[in-house]
Structure formats: structure tokens, C-alpha cells
């Protein structure tokens, strides 16, 4: 079966712009989580959605937002981009929220210039 699909794979944006990243989970998976990976901070949790409801949110400013659609696809948006937002953004899907295995996508590498 198809894995987790993240689009786009690479993105270059200018400071101040906004960006939307997309994640399509494995078919049947209803939980989607987002992570930001940077060399300095490692893998940091952004948010988790299950059946269109945000279950958990990490410690990120309000410029970072997300949503999940009825087909479980998820998007995350970053407004007013800063240089420090340059990172690999990873999405993971899971069948359930309690102990299900998390399958990750290949990520979107965002560069802010």
C-alpha cells in the first residue's frame, strides 16, 4: 500500500512569506503528526490530529498552524516566515493514537532566504 506522501519535497521561500505543506497519510490511518527537524534542535513535535481534531500541540508560536480534512489528509501552514523556520518538516501517520506504529513521510525541506 502507498506510504505517507508529503508535498512538496523542496521549497524555497522568502522571509515574511507564508507556506503550506501537505501530508497524505496511509489509507485508513486517521492520526497525523507533524515534526520539525533542525540540526540544532533535533526532532520537535508540532501538532497531532486525529479525525480532524487537534489532540496535541507542541511549543511553537502561533505562526505555525495545521488542520486535518475529512479524508485524513493534513496541511500545516507557517505564516510570516523567518530564517529560523528553515528545516525538514516530517509528517507521520498512525492507525490509532495509543501505541500505533508511526510511519513517516520523506519530508518537505523548507529553506527560507
Partner 1 sequence: AQKVTQAQTEISVVEKEDVTLDCVYETRDTTYYLFWYKQPPSGELVFLIRRNSFDEQNEISGRYSWNFQKSTSSFNFTITASQVVDSAVYFCAAHSGNTPLVFGKGTRLSVIA
Residues in contact with partner 1 by CB under 8 A are 33, 35, 42-43, 45, 48, 56, 58, 88, 90, 92, 97-99, 101-107, 109
Nearer to partner 1, 20 or 102 (CB): 102
- CB 7, min distance to partner 1, A: 14
Q: What are the residues whose beta carbons fall under 8 Å from the beta carbon of 42, sequence distance 6 or more? A: none
- CB 106, min distance to partner 1, A: 5
Nearer to partner 1, 13 or 104 (CB): 104
Closest CA to 62 of 18, 97, 111: 18
Nearer to partner 1, 25 or 105 (CB): 105
CA torsion sign for 77, 63, 109, 38 is negative
Closest CA to 32 of 5, 77, 72: 72
Closest CA to 44 of 94, 85, 97: 85
- CB 38, min distance to partner 1, A: 12
CB 33 within 8 A of CB 103: no
- CB 42, min distance to partner 1, A: 5
Amino acid at each position: 500500500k502507498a506510504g505517507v506522501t508529503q508535498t512538496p519535497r523542496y521549497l524555497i521561500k522568502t522571509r515574511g512569506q507564508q507556506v503550506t505543506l501537505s501530508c497524505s497519510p496511509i489509507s485508513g490511518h486517521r492520526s497525523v503528526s507533524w515534526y520539525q527537524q533542525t540540526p540544532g534542535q533535533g526532532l520537535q513535535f508540532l501538532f497531532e490530529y486525529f479525525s480532524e481534531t487537534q489532540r496535541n500541540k507542541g511549543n511553537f508560536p502561533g505562526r505555525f498552524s495545521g488542520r486535518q480534512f475529512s479524508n485524513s489528509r493534513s496541511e500545516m501552514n507557517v505564516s510570516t516566515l523567518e530564517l529560523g523556520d528553515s528545516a525538514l518538516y516530517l509528517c507521520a501517520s498512525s492507525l490509532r493514537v495509543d501505541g500505533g506504529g508511526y510511519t513517516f513521510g520523506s519530508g518537505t525541506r523548507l529553506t527560507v532566504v
